[in-house]
Structure 1
């Protein structure tokens, strides 16, 4: 029993001795991790200022900052591991990362997919920060493009984070990609209205409205004959921001109504006529009996003038 206790005691002393030997390296490794945290912030700040001077694209500036932060962390952790464990060589770390990359890839495939999609979005720039876009079922302003997701602020003031893989593999409508944006406004007039008069009236209204662009020029077209009106479509161009589109559309609607009133142009609405009767005074069996007695008459063989049945 004593030899066993001696062996356990010796093993514990060896472990304590090895821990004491490794303690300075472990402490130094932790210090290096803290230094890496500070260095990552400094690297972000320095790279951010340099990219603002050298790179005009805001998306590429964000990409450079994120690459600098991630690269600093990877380098710092590798150095801290080598310092904390002197027997661990750089080749061993690279080999360990290579063996673990397969398992990590399967476990975090969605994260890596979003990461790569985010990098491609930042490089290709299908849209930029501040653009108003439609992504999936959401519409709003692009607030940020991160490595994992794209941040969208809706017009109602809500923040939506959409995974980059979804953004990259699905259609995206960029509403502010160009300098102008067209709005189609539908309006109907009475069938007795002279169409040239209505068309010229609508054109004059749109051309006078503040905010409507002169180029491309506004258009007014007859698009169809409805149940109660002849339908027009007024097309005009404005700046692409949604606030301007909504404001000018409201002004155009009010101006068109006022112009129609001044010109005597009627804007009709559907009319329906409803006939009502008292169900209690209506008897189907009596009506059928009366119609049979009136509609069918038998011929009298003794009467020289035979009568024809009325159908």
Structure 2
């Protein structure tokens, strides 16, 4: 027993350099992972991204990756190459099994991770994807939370947004509004166009470039239809598209009314029926 103990002690003493090297390797790579992850956080912070949870996930993945490399190198330094290979093989098999079991979850996580790097939209943008339109309230790794104009909160899986075309209505700050108005066939449509265009241009919330336009959009049975097109800057707090559209509709209605134009709703074919005396006595 004493000889066996001394033999094991001797082996332990001889293995001290390998053990210290393995511990040193793990510690160095753990600190390296922490350093790299902090650097990534600073880089993402300079881009003024609002995806805080995405940044935390990226940092965590980097730290885990460096720690895994450190463990594998440490096992090889201790002469446990077979254990390291088995460890990697078991991890690979587990990853495959979990990948099949949670394919949709993994797909959404990867899509969310890719969206974190190629941000085609951000919180506050108005987007549409897969027929769903709304304002982005929150961006998570697995899903994107948007709120529709009807007040409905919708959580779209990241994979759907990543795989389908994405419409961003507020990315460059420009958004176009439109509305139509009808005038009588007896009115001059060209003068009406000029009057409406001047009214739109006088609104302080509409942009000069791109310039607003007024065009004849159709000849309906009872009236000529004019279409008003204008642009607003969505980055301006006072230039809400719905409010500006309402302001312009009211101003255009007043301008046409003051200048004596007949609206389509005022056009009528009613005939005044006058009393007629009929003598039935022959």
The TM-score with structure 2 as length reference comes to 0.69
Candidates 21, 38, 58, aligned match of 1:67: 58
Partner of 2:218: 224
Which structure has the larger Rg over C-alpha atoms? 1
Q: What is residue 262 of structure 1 aligned with on the other side?
A: 258
| Residue 188 (structure 1) shift | 0.8
Give the 5 Å matches for 1:191-230. Answer: 191-230=185-224
Deviations 1:235-267 (A, max 9, x none): 111113697100100000111111111000011
Aligned to 2:127: 133
Instruction: Find the aligned partners of 1:236 and 1:210 in 2 and give their Cα distance.
Output: 12
Unpaired segments ≥5 residues, structure 2: 1-30, 75-79, 271-282
For the Cα contact (< 8 Å) 1:59–1:123, is it kept in 2?
A: no
Residue 111 of structure 2, aligned match among 77, 100, 117: 117
The aligned counterpart of 1:50 is 42
Confirm or deny: 8 A CA contact 2:105 2:142 kept in the other structure: yes
Q: How many residues align?
A: 229
- Root-mean-square deviation (CA), in Å? 3.5
Counterpart position of 2:247: 251
Query: Any idea what the Cα deviations from partners look like across 1:8-40, whole Å, max 9, x if unmatched?
Result: xxxxxxxxxxxxxxxxxxxxxxxxxxxxxxx9x
Deviation, structure 1 residue 94: 1.5
CA distance in 1 between partners of 2:130 and 2:157 (Å) = 11
Shift of 1:102: 2.4
TM-superposed deviation, 1:150: 1.6
Map 1:161-176; keep pairs closer than 5 Å: 161-176=155-170
What do the CA deviations read for 1:53-85 (whole angstroms, capped 9, x no partner)? Answer: 5x41516876443211234457779999x9xxx
How far has the Cα of 1:48 moved from its partner? 7.7
Between the two structures, name the one with larger relative contact order (CA 8 Å, sep ≥ 6). Answer: 2
Q: What secondary structure, in the 3-state scheme, does the structure 2 residue paired with 1:58 have? A: coil
Q: Structure 1 residues 98 and 52 mapped into 2: Cα distance closer, same or farther (>3 Å)?
A: closer
Map of 1:282 onto structure 2: none
CA deviation after TM superposition for structure 1 residue 205, in Å:
1.0
Contact 1:58 1:129 (C-alpha < 8 Å) held by counterparts: no
The 4+ residue runs of structure 1 with deviation greater than 6 A are 74-80
Structure 1, unmatched stretches of 5+, are 1-38, 274-311
